[in-house]
Structure 1
């Protein structure tokens, strides 16, 4: 009977938990941010401006409470996993990259989205007392400045933002699977006449 040599380093339970939590939180963040642009916004665009602004504000307020802490958790975990890797390894580089790219949603939001966020928040304030079904409330608004047009621009920027934690998830996932050649499954190949039993 010939055995196949099996080589793998089994991470500790703590490392496995960190890997799962880091990947899950970064992937959840990417999906949550992205789903707003490709699921929620199309529905919001069907609403009259006052309702659209009110609903966007609720989504925005919930997102700013959840997204930054989740990005920080993912970043801290990926930083910890990078610390556990030798500095010359690809795992160290990939975890470090993930630890940087996931929380970059925060500067992305500040530098690329704050202008449109402020405009949409002002829309929510100015339309707060309008009837939620008033379809003519923005009839005199300049082109490009209606709640619908602003939200459409916002959705594109938001979709771009979702790629940051997605890229971090992929980098960290690659760091995890890159370490393993074959898991210790006790694989054995039988040869000769006795291979069938």
Structure 2
């Protein structure tokens, strides 16, 4: 095996591990309770964070999953790339790719209603007022769902690390 292939393999591993770790860090929602921020402003702040995450996270997930998929393909194509990887690296790296990329369908399926409710409140022109308790309940729900979502790429990162250590 050429040293260039080993180098590409290690780079793909590093991208996979780093990307999975990055996506596993849950976003922090500024608490309206601590700063006495109005429910409307709180929703607008959340929307800004949501829009940044919506733009940033899917491409990171795709690059990370692609790196894991490349490593899985490399191990399957050439099991002697790393002797230890021949014992299950393909399956573990594939799992890492799938787990990391699964944040996209999870977000669309599990978080859509909460996201839509918060976006509706953030975009309202004053005709749709929400109580502080309602906004805090939605933000608590979103935080829980986002925490669960963050476990997917974290599990992917662990699967990739486990495959590398086999």
TM-score, length basis structure 1: 0.71
Of 11, 19, 23 in structure 2, the residue corresponding to residue 29 of structure 1 is: 23
How far off is 1:44 after superposition? Answer: 4.3
Deviations 1:121-176 (A, max 9, x none): 001011x569xxxxxx645x9x7xx2111111111011000000000000001111
The question of whether the paired residues in 2 share the 8 Å contact of 1:94 and 1:171 is answered with yes
Of 52, 63, 86 in structure 2, the residue corresponding to residue 73 of structure 1 is: 63
State the SS of the aligned residue for 1:41.
coil
What CA distance in whole angstroms lies between the structure 2 residues aligned with 1:120 and 1:129?
14
Q: Whose helix fraction is larger, Structure 1's or Structure 2's? A: 2
The question of whether the paired residues in 1 share the 8 Å contact of 2:121 and 2:130 is answered with no
> Could you tell me which residue of structure 1 aligns to residue 107 of structure 2?
109
> Could you tell me which residue of structure 1 aligns to residue 98 of structure 2?
100
How far off is 1:56 after superposition? Answer: 0.1
How far off is 1:89 after superposition? Answer: 3.0
TM-score, length basis structure 2: 0.83
> Could you tell me which residue of structure 1 aligns to residue 82 of structure 2?
none
Give the 3 Å change call, closer, same or farther, for CA 17–66 of structure 1 in structure 2. same
**Structure 2 counterparts to residues 1-197 of structure 1, below 5 A:** 12-31=6-25, 34=26, 36=27, 40-46=28-34, 47-86=37-76, 89-126=87-124, 138-139=130-131, 146-178=134-166
How far off is 1:50 after superposition? Answer: 1.5
State the SS of the aligned residue for 2:97.
helix
Q: CA RMSD in A?
A: 2.1
Give the 3 Å change call, closer, same or farther, for CA 44–84 of structure 1 in structure 2. farther
Higher RCO (CA-CA < 8 Å; seq separation 6+)? 1
